[in-house]
Amino acid sequence: MADRSFSVAKLPGFTATAIIVFAALYLPIFTLVGYSFNANQSVAVWGGFSLDWYAKAWANTQVKDATVLSLIIAVTAAVIATAVATLAALGTTRRKKFRGETFIYVMINQPLMVPEIVTAVTLLIFFGIIKQATGIQGIGYVILAHAAFCIPFAYLPIRARLEGMDLSLETAATDLYASSWQTFRFVTLPLLLPGVIAGAMLAFVISLDDVVITEFVKSGGQDTLPTYMLGQMRRQMTPEINAVSTMLLVLTVVLLTAFFFLTRKNDQ
């Protein structure tokens, strides 16, 4: 062989494997999007092109209410989780090494390790006790639950950004008469911002599509978009679900793309 360097692409079956994997990843999504334009009542039998299901979903007040609630929860939970995660990341990277640092790190990432259903049941019981004792109801419980499991998702990119940031920049700021607050405000935070935005976006997206924990924690009439869709599918499946899913998909893709360009510009 003329070219002796190793390349995975030259292994037998590489192209075929790649095509199969990509098909497995994206074919179901394309099918879902395709059938959202189905004129037929069925989600599986093609009956011609139509935008009816989008119009129907748009006019459906239940879908609208669920969407608004989902957005309220996702935005609030993402803000809370990002604020907490930023403090946690600063606390675990911007100080001297301390005993039990690894333990703290694992504790912060606990929601990533504990099975979601366990967290869901735990929160259901825990919040039940609080509701019983205080009598306080409302959407706050769902927001708190979402904020809790979003923290590690916000924490990881912020911590990664901080670890890549030279501590001598903050030292230089204090040398140039900046107080602790000024150092944070004018040096640490602006440099950390891409990480904070990444963390917030990730937390938002994770909160937006959560089903398991929401289903357990929510009270009656507190349907988010995912739990509403789950409820619909128990009754009857129409391409309306496809239409809603497609819109959710588009929202997520737009957000992530915006985020990608935003951080790339900031890194230059």
Partner 1 sequence: MTQVNAVEARNVVKAFGQGDNTVRALNDVSVEIRKGEFFTLLGPSGCGKTTLLRLIAGFEMPTSGTILLEGADITYLPPNKRPVNTVFQSYALFPHLSVAQNVGFGLQMQGRPKKEVDETVARMLALVKLEPMANRKTSQLSGGQQQRVALARALAPKPKVLLLDEPLSALDLKLRKEMQIELKRLQTETGITFVFVTHDQEEALTMSDRIGVMSAGKLQQVGAPKDIYTRPVNRFVASFIGETNFLSATAESGAARLGTGDLVELPGLTGSGSVTVTVRPEQVRLVDPAEAGAIAATVKTLVYFGTDTHCHLALKDGTEVVARLQSPATGEAGLAQGQSVGLRFAAGAAQIVED
Could you tell me where the DSSP H helices lie in the chain? 14-35, 52-59, 61-93, 101-108, 110-113, 116-134, 140-163, 167-175, 180-183, 189-208, 212-217, 225-235, 239-267
Tell which one of 17, 62, 110, 171 touches partner 1 (CB under 8 A).
Answer: 171
**Rounded CA gap, 147 and 200, in Å?**
11
Asked if residue 177 binds partner 1 (CB under 8 A), the reply is: yes
Tell which one of 15, 62, 137, 179 touches partner 1 (CB under 8 A).
Answer: 179
Instruction: Tell me the closest approach of the beta carbon of residue 265 to partner 1, in angstroms.
Output: 12
Query: Which range of residues in 102-110, 134-142, 144-152, 170-178 is near partner 1 by CB under 8 A?
Result: 170-178
Instruction: Tell me the closest approach of the beta carbon of residue 100 to partner 1, in angstroms.
Output: 17
19 versus 169: smaller Cβ distance to partner 1: 169
Instruction: Tell me the closest approach of the beta carbon of residue 177 to partner 1, in angstroms.
Output: 4
Instruction: Tell me the closest approach of the beta carbon of residue 97 to partner 1, in angstroms.
Output: 13
At which residue do the structure tokens 């979402």 appear? 146
- Residue 157 has a CB neighbour count (10 Å cut-off) of 23
Residues in contact with partner 1 by the rule CB under 8 A: 166, 168-169, 171-179, 182, 186-187, 190-191, 268
